[in-house]
Structure 1
Amino acid sequence: MSSFSTTGLLVFCALLGSAFPLKCISCLSKTSTECEGESEIECPGNCMTGSQHFHNGDVDVKSLYKGCANESLCGLFGSLTQENDVTIRVNAVCCSGDKCNDDEFFLPKEDTEPNGLSCPNAYCKGTNEECESDQEIECKGSETQCVEYRGRVKNPDDSEDDYSAKGCINPDGCKFNFGILIAVEELERILLDC
């Protein structure tokens, strides 16, 4: 076979592959690390598996998403800590290939080493006015920025609350803020400042 026909065949195969959408596993579990009733969905790009751990006092929820990839989120790990009892961790893994997103729930191991940064530490539920506090929180691992947030949020249990908080966040979490979350939905933003 000549090099021209080999190149032509490779180009034809690439075009043929791009003409058909990718098949991805699809499911959403807001309160579990396993999806019930997985199905199949056609996606124009890559597939994605997203894992999230949301902890707020007595509420401790792990969530899992499988489906079409939001390409801007691929490879991101978001981490946020407010007070010592409010944390959100979320990880997005993308892949290319039919039904390649069969990954299990996965979050990178938490780095608990202090990184030298301290941030204002405040958490108020039921208000989106500034939450005042003279306390600070010692930031750890990849959480190398301070954050202040005020707004209204829909929680994993579908309840809605106003929050005002200050704490530590990593660059991915700040850059993509609520766009990266699985089972927490921002309803109204008053302020997000990193």
Structure 2
Amino acid sequence: MRKSYICILFAFMTLIASAQSTTCSACWPIGDTECCKEKERECPSGLCMTTSEFCQLDDKKYQTIQKGCGDSNYCNGCLRVTTEKGLTVEACAKCCTGEKCNDDLSYTRASVEEPNGYFCPACYKNDTTEVCNPGSDVVYCRGAQTECVKYGGGVIFSDGTAHPVSAQGCITQGGCQLGFSALPGAKEAQRMTMECTPATKIE
């Protein structure tokens, strides 16, 4: 009787797991907004996600689409970093439920948000991983950017070149908690610093 109960319980748990699991389209063609070869990935969360990534470093612009398993912490929101000194990062995610539902979710740039009454120190350098000194320079935050970020690290771009990156600017609230293991159009090779503090409200 006990063995039968255990077998029934195991079967029930398996059914629950399979009901929650979803097959999603998966790809990450660095530097491209379309997936030429999409794979499939089993996602325990039951969510599929497509992330539209944009990054501008000096005069270079990178746009990348990423598809895979969804995370409710990222769904239908954007992570933005703005310096107005040569570095802009944006990653916006769309989530859906159903087998390979993200197959039809294409690359989409988010609209420009309005200034929100906060500002942060601003600087950007592409020759050091030590956090740059903004002096008196500031950037005015937009939308949900209510925190300031200090970042220093090394990145490898889609053309294979490696560069140190150092920046200060506005970041979406909670950005440091979410973090980012890759910049759009580039992969993070080494993180030296990533700190967030509340932005200053304009008086």
Is TM more than 0.5 here? Answer: yes
Of residues 140, 143, 163, the one that matches 1:141 is: 143
Summarize the Cα distance change of 1:54–1:43 in structure 2 as closer, same or farther, 3 Å threshold: same
Amino acid in the other structure paired with 1:139: C
Q: 1:2-54 CA distances to partner (integer Å, 9 max, x unpaired)?
A: xxxxxxxxxx9996463364221122221121111223333333221111011
Amino acid in the other structure paired with 1:59: K
Q: Is the counterpart of residue 107 in structure 1 residue 106 in structure 2?
A: no
Q: 1:155 offset after TM fit, Å?
A: 2.6
Gaps of 5+ in 1: 1-11
Q: 1:107 offset after TM fit, Å?
A: 3.5
Summarize the Cα distance change of 1:39–1:190 in structure 2 as closer, same or farther, 3 Å threshold: closer
SS in structure 2 opposite 1:166?
strand
Q: How does 1:107-186 map to 2 (within 5 A)?
A: 107-111=109-113, 113-134=114-135, 135-179=137-181, 181=183, 183-186=185-188
Aligned to 2:8: none
Gaps of 5+ in 2: 1-10, 197-203
Number of matched residues? Answer: 182
Aligned to 1:33: 33
What's the TM-score, normalizing by structure 1?
Answer: 0.81
Query: Please, which moves more after superposition, 21-30 or 51-60?
Result: 21-30
Summarize the Cα distance change of 1:180–1:160 in structure 2 as closer, same or farther, 3 Å threshold: closer
Q: 1:138-180 CA distances to partner (integer Å, 9 max, x unpaired)?
A: 2222222111111212233332211221111111433212147
Q: Over aligned residues, Cα RMSD in angstroms?
A: 2.5
1: CA distance between counterparts of 2:181 and 2:70? 12
Q: 1:55 offset after TM fit, Å?
A: 1.0
Summarize the Cα distance change of 1:138–1:146 in structure 2 as closer, same or farther, 3 Å threshold: same
What's the TM-score, normalizing by structure 2?
Answer: 0.77
